[in-house]
Chain A
Amino acid sequence: MRYEIIFHGRGGQGAVTAAEIMAYAAILSGLYAQAFPEFGAERRGAPVKAYFRVDDKEPIYERNPVERPDMIAVLDEGLILRLHPPIYTNLKSNGWIIINSSRDPEKLRDVVERKDVKIAVVNATSIALELFKRPIVNTTIIGALMKVFNVIPMENIEKAIRSKFQKDVAEINIKAIKKGYENTVVIE
Chain B
Amino acid sequence: MSMNKVLEKKLLEPLSGNHAVAYAVRDCDVDVISAYPITPQTTIVEKLAEFVASGELDAEFLHVESEHSALSAAIGAAASGARAFTATSSQGLALMYEVLFIASGMRIPMVMALVTRALSAPINIWNDHSDLMASQDTGWIQLVSTNNQEAYDFIIIGYKLSEREDVMLPVMVALDGYIQSHTIEPVQLEDPEKVRKFVPKKKRPVTLDPEKPVSFGTLGDPDWYYEFKIQQAEALERAYQAYKEVSSEFSQYFGRSYEPFQILYGEDSDAILVVLGAHTGTFLKAVEMARREGMKIGLGVIRMLRPFPPEVSKYLSQYSFIGVADKAINFGSASGSYLTNDIATSLYLEGASSRITTYIYGIGGRPVKIEDALYVVRHLWRISKRLEEVPKKPVFVGVRY
Q: Which residues of B contact A62 (CB under 8 A)?
A: 281-282, 284-285, 370
Min CB gap B49→A, angstroms: 18
A67 close to chain B: CB less than 8 A: yes
Q: A171 to B12, alpha carbons, bound, how many Å? A: 24
Stretch from B101-109, B178-186, B243-251, B345-353 contacting the other chain:
B178-186
Contact (A39, B182) CB under 8 Å given A27-B14, A61-B284, A62-B370: yes
Q: A133 to B367, alpha carbons, bound, how many Å? A: 36
A121 close to chain B: CB less than 8 A: no
Those of A34-53 within 8 Å (CB) of chain B = 34-37, 39, 41
B7 close to chain A: CB less than 8 A: yes
Cross-chain contact B368 with A39 (CB below 8 angstroms): no
Cross-chain contact A33 with B185 (CB below 8 angstroms): yes
Cross-chain contact A20 with B184 (CB below 8 angstroms): yes
Cross-chain contact A23 with B14 (CB below 8 angstroms): yes
Cross-chain contact A64 with B373 (CB below 8 angstroms): yes
> Of all chain A residues, which has the CB nearest B7?
A59
Q: Which residues of A contact B385 (CB under 8 A)?
A: none
Q: A64 to B278, alpha carbons, bound, how many Å? A: 10
Q: Which of B186, B280, B368, B369 is in CB contact (< 8 Å) with A32?
A: B186
Those of B143-180 within 8 Å (CB) of chain A = 178-179
Contact (A32, B14) CB under 8 Å given A23-B185, A61-B284: no
Chain B residues packing against A (C-beta within 8 Å)? 2-4, 7, 9-14, 125-127, 178-179, 182-186, 278-282, 284-285, 365, 367-370, 372-373
Cross-chain contact B184 with A24 (CB below 8 angstroms): yes
Q: Which residues of B contact A32 (CB under 8 A)?
A: 7, 186
Cross-chain contact A36 with B184 (CB below 8 angstroms): yes
Cross-chain contact A59 with B2 (CB below 8 angstroms): yes
Min CB gap A52→B, angstroms: 9
At the interface, is chain A mostly helix, strand, loop or mixed? mixed
Q: A64 to B367, alpha carbons, bound, how many Å? A: 7
Min CB gap A84→B, angstroms: 20
A63 close to chain B: CB less than 8 A: yes
> Of all chain A residues, which has the CB nearest B286?
A62
Q: Which of A24, A63, A67 is in CB contact (< 8 Å) with B179?
A: A63
Min CB gap A38→B, angstroms: 8
A65 close to chain B: CB less than 8 A: yes
Q: Which residues of B contact A61 (CB under 8 A)?
A: 3, 280-282, 284-285
A28 close to chain B: CB less than 8 A: yes
Q: Which residues of A contact B12 (CB under 8 A)?
A: 27
Cross-chain contact A27 with B186 (CB below 8 angstroms): yes
11 A-B pairs with CB atoms under 8 Å apart are: A20-B184, A30-B11, A34-B185, A35-B183, A36-B183, A36-B184, A37-B182, A63-B179, A63-B183, A67-B370, A160-B14
A60 close to chain B: CB less than 8 A: yes
Contact (A39, B365) CB under 8 Å given A30-B9, A32-B7, A33-B185: yes
Min CB gap A188→B, angstroms: 30
Cross-chain contact A65 with B186 (CB below 8 angstroms): no
Q: Which of A27, A39, A67 is in CB contact (< 8 Å) with B127?
A: A39
